[in-house]
Amino acid sequence: MRLLAFLLLGFFTTTSVLAQEMPTQVRDKLNQIVGTWDCETTVDGKIIGEEASIRWTPDRNTIIYRGDGSNFNTEISATFSGILGWDPVGKRVIEQGFNSAGGTMTATHDLSGDRWVSPMRSIDTKEGEASIETCDRIFRIKSNNEWSIKKTNRIVNGVPVKNRITRFRRIVTDSDPIAEELVKAEIDQILEIWVKGDADALAQEFTSDGIRATNISIRPIVGHDAIQESFAFEFSAGASQSGAKMSANVDHARFITDKHIAANGTWRLTELDGTVSRQGKWGNVWIVNDDRSDCKLVLESAYADAPHQRDLPKRDQDFPTDSELGKTELGGMVQRNVNRFIKGFSNSDFATVTREFTLDGVRSVSSVPGSYRGHAAILRSLETEDKSLEANDDVTLDAVVLNAKRLSPTIAIANGVWQLTDQDGNLINYGQWGNVIRIRNGEAKLLLESAGSYQP
């Protein structure tokens, strides 16, 4: 065993010394596909959607990728990953890929000319039988934000089959300057109204069917009249007249449809003596007017951080049973997403929970500090949250969907309530959630999770 270790060490040391860097012209071509991508392939008239993240390794000599969606050959839901590296002897790029359904693929890439061709061989298992495909993949870069792969000369188990095209569109993860400017201006206006204690004016900053899901109420507050009453109640208790200063920051904002913005950030309530009495996070959805000069709140989902000492609602009286919404197409998608989240969370299977988010998803919850963007960060947040619950054995998470609404064919919002109970059925924590959903292949994934504890 010791001899084997020395032999392996010698091999890898020699390899690293002799390794040649990828040529600059090859690296420049591969760099065109680096990013986070929304992918669509039409299979027998049905669109199969995937997401893919393609990244350089730190030495920029190898590319790694991972994705989530469906296997093109078997049409079974699967995750996939792979690596592209430089072969200095063959003067070409070699690719190895794998998927969670047991499939493998190998390919080479000829990037010597203007035409980028990649012969490929893949093996998948369908109904216990091997499905072997060979083909040529032709890569075409249309722009910095769009490219495609065309599979030609396809042979599956010795039989010629139709060509197939997968189109890639870049998922922009940076904050959009226009969206950010609109949200900041609207927040400034809301804060000015809040100082004046004008409940009517604040309610007008929501759409007529707008929703408030915050830490100060047990249930979501829906519609102008209810929202106006909620602000009037807060102001009657002296919320804006106490002299405390409310402030808010925008961490990230982007258009999720042509007319809707999803944004998240932080808020803080500071007393006259400079002490911070309460602070937290928000993840809201706004609708923009036609000339993009103003926006209104469709969904407010804002929560204070670390829970204050408070009286929790009684489980048997206040937690609703599953609503009829789960029987609708959209409600069913959202409820299945919630159920998968709960199952993974309950089993401490945080990799499964993370896959319930899109690759560019955001998690902003009151139980952990900060907000988390992307799968790696979201996984860390879930592991951190789990450590905080270690003192409570056999914790059970429940959640119910109360509202769901499509903003476009592929984007929706949903909100509801959640609770944590211990092994004896005692309530540990309770709160609301208001999320942004991306719909793909008849299922829902979290584009933004915003949830928090009830803290009146």
Is 17 within a domain?
A: no
For 91, left (φ over 0), alpha (ψ -120 to 50), or beta? Answer: left
Domain boundary, last residue among 119, 139, 170: 170
Whether residues 74 and 213 share a domain: the answer is no
Is 355 within a domain?
A: yes
Four-CA torsion 456, 339, 265, 386, nearest 10 degrees: 80
- Band the pLDDT of 294: cuts 50, 70, 90: very high
Is 219 within a domain?
A: yes
- Band the pLDDT of 108: cuts 50, 70, 90: very high
Domain boundary, last residue among 281, 304, 327: 304
Q: Residue range 59-83: average pLDDT?
A: 78
Whether residues 114 and 150 share a domain: the answer is yes
Is 49 within a domain?
A: yes
Domain boundary, last residue among 151, 170, 189: 170
Is 332 within a domain?
A: yes
Residues in the chain: 456
Is 15 within a domain?
A: no
CA-wise closest residue to 156 among 73, 40, 48, 72: 73
Is pLDDT above 60 for 8? no
Whether residues 117 and 133 share a domain: the answer is yes
Tokens found for residue 146:
């769009």
Whether residues 28 and 118 share a domain: the answer is yes
At 89, which CATH number? Answer: 2.40.128.20
Structural domain range at position 293: 177-304
Give the global pTM.
Answer: 0.82
In whole numbers, what is the pLDDT of the chain averaged over residues?
Answer: 87
Whether residues 166 and 183 share a domain: the answer is no
Give the 3-state secondary structure of residue 369: coil
Q: For tokens 């949250």, name the residue.
A: 385
At 340, which CATH number? Answer: 3.10.450.50
Is 13 within a domain?
A: no
- Band the pLDDT of 440: cuts 50, 70, 90: confident
For 75, left (φ over 0), alpha (ψ -120 to 50), or beta? Answer: left
Our count of domains for the chain comes to: 3
CA-wise closest residue to 111 among 133, 142, 90: 90
Is 80 within a domain?
A: yes
Whether residues 31 and 112 share a domain: the answer is yes
Residues pairing with 278 in the sheet: 269
